[in-house]
Structure 1
Amino acid sequence: MRSSLFPLAVTLAVQVLVSMAVVTVPVLAPAVAAETGASASHVGIFIAMVYGASMVASLVSGPLVQRFGAIRLSQACLVVCAVGLACVATAVPTLFVVGAIFLGMGYGPVTPASSHILAKSTPRERMSFIFSLKQTGVPIGGALAGALVPALVLWGGWRAAALAVAGACLATSISAQPLREALDTDRDPDRPLVIASLAGPLRYTLRDPVLRRLAFCSFFFAALQLCLITFLVTYLTLNVGISLVAAGLMLASAQAGGAVGRIGWGMIADHWGRPVRLLGLLAIAMGAAAVATGRFTPQWPAVSVALVCAAFGATAIGWNGVYLAQVARLAPPGKAGDATGGALVFTYAGVLFGPPAFTFLIGGGISFASAFVVLAVPAVACGLWLFWRDGNQNEPERGAPGKLENR
């Protein structure tokens, strides 16, 4: 147990910091907009650029892990994220674009690198649980950004807040150095950096009707998830009239709900044995939470707002683990990683589509509240589709769930 918890702690810390770095910019959006005069809704374009770079970086991370080692790559990711935040702190429009690209380049390879470490150190019978715990690093990092960054803004301004998070990334990168000798023993410095073909993973996904259906639905789930993370703080401060600090705490509440949901829904799916039906129910619930979020007014009690945000996070952020596990179950034998990679292309596409679509709706004169509802409609439709198609049949387990992220 001890041998698996040590690598888990290391990989979780890295995941938390890079996730915090990415979510820091949406939290800063109202303060940046107030100083620069730019629309706060433009943060949707920024996040789209982050995840576009992240998708490309994650696809090429395999050879980098094998040549340099997972810890060294994780250290590099933390440094690159710090550089990205430093670019944002300049408030120069061109460097905002550069900062988004750097943040994406730092965010993308972290999951493959951490999965490489955990696959070596985790007993097979505990792999699902350990990997689920590691995946909570994303909402935990977002919760820390929501809780701490507004306080840093009040303390020293938004530039100081961005640089403080950048400093935390650098400190974590340095602290990981003593671990490299123990965890990067399998690196091959002579391995050529050859990028494998990307057509194979897509073929596995598109060939199977159930995988194809899940991947298609994940596009809309991911779009709504990123709109929640990206625009909640701006919506609460500009439209509901609560302070930046309080709005950050509401985002932290949503992220905390997502962290609990990622583990809880996975346990329920395993116990119930109907993961597709559970995904359908989660999609309907996230749509209902989005509608409730759109109904916020200044008269709502803070506790009620926090509870709705937590429910929104538990569903719109918490669905990923159930989805990825089911993709692995449906994969051809020994091809769980390829099928997961192909399915994630659709998921990342939703990440890229969601925030710009939300920004477009706001630019067209639609309110933030209505935009949340518009993005919720296709997610609910997909939920009803999954629930109906699942019917009374269990999908066969054709793959090895334990190899979900061993890519």
Structure 2
Amino acid sequence: MNNSYAALAVTLAIQALVSMASFTVPVLAPVALPDLGGSLALVGLFVALIYLGAMISSLLSGSWILRFGAIRVSQVCLLLCGAGLAIAAGGQLWCLVISALALGAGYGPVTPASSHILARTTPRHLMGFMFSLKQTGVPIGGVLAGMLVPSLVGLAGWHGALLAVALACAMMALVAQCVREALDDDRSQSPAPRRDPFKPLRLIFAMPRMRNLALCSLLFGAMQLCLTTYLVSYLTEDYGLALVTAGVILALTQGAGVVGRLLWGWVADHWLEPRRLLPLLALLMAISSLLTAAFTQSWPLSLVAAVSMLFGATAIGWNGVYLAEVARLAPTGTAGQYTGGTLFFTYFGVVAGPPLFAGVTHFSHSLASGYLLFGGLMLAIALLLWRFAGAPAPRCDTG
């Protein structure tokens, strides 16, 4: 227990750097794509490839964590993300394909690894807050990308910005070595037996409450990535903001996500259980998405920022509630395995969401139509989740 805050600090920092790496290319896309000869639709495909890689690596991560240790797996993830950004700096369209897959391979296992560490080091009565605080690393990474990447582009060009973030990932991998022995002391000292990669999926479907969380995360993940992937492009192309100003709005959105994660984690622990809180968050996401679709240049910038922050507080803020609940339900010592299995569904939604958004906007010639579509879909999901919430919660024996 004495290591709980040290574990939180290192997992939060790793999560933030990996998140920043995944946001970097979408943030600088308006500048880089003209040089590459591509359209904004490529942003959605790039993000989809990241999460396709993350789907696979998260599903396999449980056995890697047990064999090599969660910190060692996290270090490899940081290096993969750095390599992915360095490859993207090559300046060719084919480089983006390899870059996205490398980023995805690095992104997928980070959350299962951190859940494994925190489940071991965090007192049960603090799990909701600590997991939510750790998950603020994702929007913090978005804040860093929104605030720093446009400035790095101005100083060193978009190639230099990619290399700078890649270097930061490599440096964090070195820093994590300082705590590796202390936090990886539970790793296996013998070769792991051959494992069934689909076992986490079977375990999840055998536990109804875990299954419901996983399926819910599929839809929420799609909404989250459609917000963060296209917001900068939408604000520059449709609303008419400068890249740096749009980056500030993204940073505010991600900052609201940080606050939202902590707030919703507290609400889920003390006031409204997750199966009743998630429908409320879905409704707020739907309202925010529909309002975003209605942006015109007649809207004052302050109102645009306020709507974007509400969007971020919900579409980004839900994640901590979800992961803390997964860790609570998972049998002792299996939080990483169950988290990796549930994230398979989350990332599937992320893979499907941005390309669908891109297809709709390509044919309509308007990014607003994508937010309109997803706002309508999320409204329908909110109504379904309210119906599911009315059923008695099954009692889950986690051993």
Using structure 2 for the length normalisation, give the TM-score.
0.92
Alignment partner, residue 9 of structure 1? 9
Unaligned runs of 5+ in 1: none
Alignment partner, residue 87 of structure 1? 87
Offset at residue 219 of structure 1 (A) = 2.3
Specify the code of the residue in structure 2 equivalent to 1:103. Answer: L
Q: Indicate how the Cα distance of structure 1 residues 243 and 338 shifts in structure 2: closer, same or farther if over 3 A, else same.
A: same
Q: Map residues 112-123 of structure 1 onto 2, 5 A cutoff.
A: 112-123=112-123
| Separation in structure 2 between the aligned mates of residue 180 and residue 323 of structure 1, nearest angstrom | 27
User: Per the alignment, in what secondary structure is the counterpart of residue 238 of structure 2?
Assistant: helix
| Separation in structure 1 between the aligned mates of residue 323 and residue 69 of structure 2, nearest angstrom | 25
Offset at residue 207 of structure 1 (A) = 5.2
Offset at residue 175 of structure 1 (A) = 1.9
Q: Indicate how the Cα distance of structure 1 residues 124 and 341 shifts in structure 2: closer, same or farther if over 3 A, else same.
A: same
Q: Indicate how the Cα distance of structure 1 residues 281 and 366 shifts in structure 2: closer, same or farther if over 3 A, else same.
A: farther
Offset at residue 205 of structure 1 (A) = 4.2
User: Per the alignment, in what secondary structure is the counterpart of residue 101 of structure 1?
Assistant: helix
**Paired residues of 1:332 and 1:398 also in contact (CA < 8 A):** no
Alignment partner, residue 102 of structure 1? 102
| Separation in structure 2 between the aligned mates of residue 126 and residue 163 of structure 1, nearest angstrom | 38
| Separation in structure 2 between the aligned mates of residue 29 and residue 384 of structure 1, nearest angstrom | 35
Offset at residue 15 of structure 1 (A) = 0.7
Deviation by residue 1:34-79 (Cα, 9 ceiling, x = unmatched):
2223102211001111011111112222232233222222211111
Offset at residue 214 of structure 1 (A) = 4.5
Alignment partner, residue 24 of structure 2? 24
**More displaced 10-residue stretch of structure 1: 153-162 or 299-308:** 299-308
**More displaced 10-residue stretch of structure 1: 109-118 or 320-329:** 320-329
Q: Map residues 377-396 of structure 1 onto 2, 5 A cutoff.
A: 377-391=376-390, 394-396=392-394
Specify the code of the residue in structure 2 equivalent to 1:258. Answer: G
Offset at residue 183 of structure 1 (A) = 2.4
Q: Map residues 257-336 of structure 1 onto 2, 5 A cutoff.
A: 257-326=256-325
Offset at residue 196 of structure 1 (A) = 2.9
Deviation by residue 1:146-183 (Cα, 9 ceiling, x = unmatched):
11111111111111111110111111112222222322
Alignment partner, residue 349 of structure 1? 348
Specify the code of the residue in structure 2 equivalent to 1:229. Answer: T
Q: Indicate how the Cα distance of structure 1 residues 377 and 206 shifts in structure 2: closer, same or farther if over 3 A, else same.
A: farther
Q: How many equivalent residue pairs?
A: 399
| Separation in structure 1 between the aligned mates of residue 287 and residue 241 of structure 2, nearest angstrom | 22
Offset at residue 189 of structure 1 (A) = 4.4
**Paired residues of 1:254 and 1:310 also in contact (CA < 8 A):** yes
- The answer on 1:238 being equivalent to 2:259 is no
RMSD between aligned alpha carbons?
2.5
Q: Indicate how the Cα distance of structure 1 residues 331 and 175 shifts in structure 2: closer, same or farther if over 3 A, else same.
A: closer
Specify the code of the residue in structure 1 equivalent to 2:171. Answer: A
| Separation in structure 2 between the aligned mates of residue 50 and residue 162 of structure 1, nearest angstrom | 16
Unaligned runs of 5+ in 2: none
Match of 1:398 among 387, 396, 399: 396
| Separation in structure 1 between the aligned mates of residue 89 and residue 338 of structure 2, nearest angstrom | 39
**More displaced 10-residue stretch of structure 1: 298-307 or 49-58:** 298-307
**Paired residues of 2:58 and 2:343 also in contact (CA < 8 A):** no
| Separation in structure 1 between the aligned mates of residue 121 and residue 132 of structure 2, nearest angstrom | 15
Alignment partner, residue 366 of structure 2? 367
Specify the code of the residue in structure 2 equivalent to 1:86. Answer: A
Deviation by residue 1:166-213 (Cα, 9 ceiling, x = unmatched):
111111112222222322233334323633341x44345445666555
Which structure's relative contact order is higher, taking Cα pairs within 8 Å and 6+ residues apart?
A: 2
Q: Indicate how the Cα distance of structure 1 residues 197 and 149 shifts in structure 2: closer, same or farther if over 3 A, else same.
A: closer
Offset at residue 360 of structure 1 (A) = 1.0
User: Per the alignment, in what secondary structure is the counterpart of residue 60 of structure 1?
Assistant: helix
**Paired residues of 2:59 and 2:200 also in contact (CA < 8 A):** no
- The answer on 1:223 being equivalent to 2:222 is yes
Q: Indicate how the Cα distance of structure 1 residues 331 and 193 shifts in structure 2: closer, same or farther if over 3 A, else same.
A: closer
Specify the code of the residue in structure 2 equivalent to 1:238. Answer: E
| Separation in structure 2 between the aligned mates of residue 91 and residue 249 of structure 1, nearest angstrom | 26
**Paired residues of 2:139 and 2:258 also in contact (CA < 8 A):** yes
**Paired residues of 2:74 and 2:110 also in contact (CA < 8 A):** yes
User: Per the alignment, in what secondary structure is the counterpart of residue 364 of structure 1?
Assistant: helix
Q: Map residues 36-75 of structure 1 onto 2, 5 A cutoff.
A: 36-75=36-75
Q: Indicate how the Cα distance of structure 1 residues 57 and 342 shifts in structure 2: closer, same or farther if over 3 A, else same.
A: closer
**Paired residues of 1:329 and 1:396 also in contact (CA < 8 A):** no
Q: Indicate how the Cα distance of structure 1 residues 260 and 187 shifts in structure 2: closer, same or farther if over 3 A, else same.
A: same
**Paired residues of 2:62 and 2:336 also in contact (CA < 8 A):** no
